[in-house]
Structure 1
Amino acid sequence: MKSIITLPATSEALVFDGEPSPAELEAIDREMPLIRAEVELLDARITVLDRTPSQLDAHRIRRARRRVLAARRELTNRAVAGSPEVA
């Protein structure tokens, strides 16, 4: 049987402590409105899985879809506004 030798990490980039980095947390915070909108849409769809959607259910799903699209648009616009222009 061969033994496995572990080498010490030579760089901070190789060390993983299981926690998200500050940059990852910031990215999550930026995307949180989209995440919440997608969860709301998923919740609306789950609600009608076992029954025929009523008019109120259909309205809730449409409203949730619009919120997802608006959140995606806002996130994309912020990303485009923050990126350097290509000439």
Structure 2
Amino acid sequence: MKYIAALQTAVTGTLPDIEPTDAELDAIVREEPLLLAEQELLDVQIALLDRPQTSLAKRRLRRAANKVLAARTEIANRAAAVRTGVAA
């Protein structure tokens, strides 16, 4: 019987540091509003899969989609401001 765990270090090797860097953590924090907005949109879409399309449901979906667009716009504007040298 072979043990897979004994072969694992040979396959993966030793990773010197698997923690995210400060820059990666900052990027996650900057994108958090977008991630939350996309999660809300997905929740609304899942909730509407087996329900009839009412005016309230359409409004919830439209509001969630607009929130995602606003978050994407904010991130893009912030990135453009950084590239042009304008402090945000």
TM-score class normalised by the smaller sequence: 0.7 to 0.9
Q: Give the unaligned 5+ runs of structure 2.
A: 1-9
Query: Once superposed, what is the RMSD of the aligned Cα atoms?
Result: 2.3
Q: Give the unaligned 5+ runs of structure 1.
A: none
Number of residue pairs matched by the alignment: 75
Counterpart in 2 of 1:58? 58
Counterpart in 2 of 1:70? 70
How far apart, CA to CA, are the structure 2 residues paired with 1:56 and 1:84? 42
TM-score by length of 2: 0.75
Which residue identity lines up with residue 71 of structure 2 in the other structure? Answer: A
How far apart, CA to CA, are the structure 1 residues paired with 2:53 and 2:25? 37
Segments ≥4 residues shifted beyond 3 Å: none
TM-score by length of 1: 0.75
The structure carrying a bigger helix percent of its residues is: 2
Cα shift at 1:62:
0.1
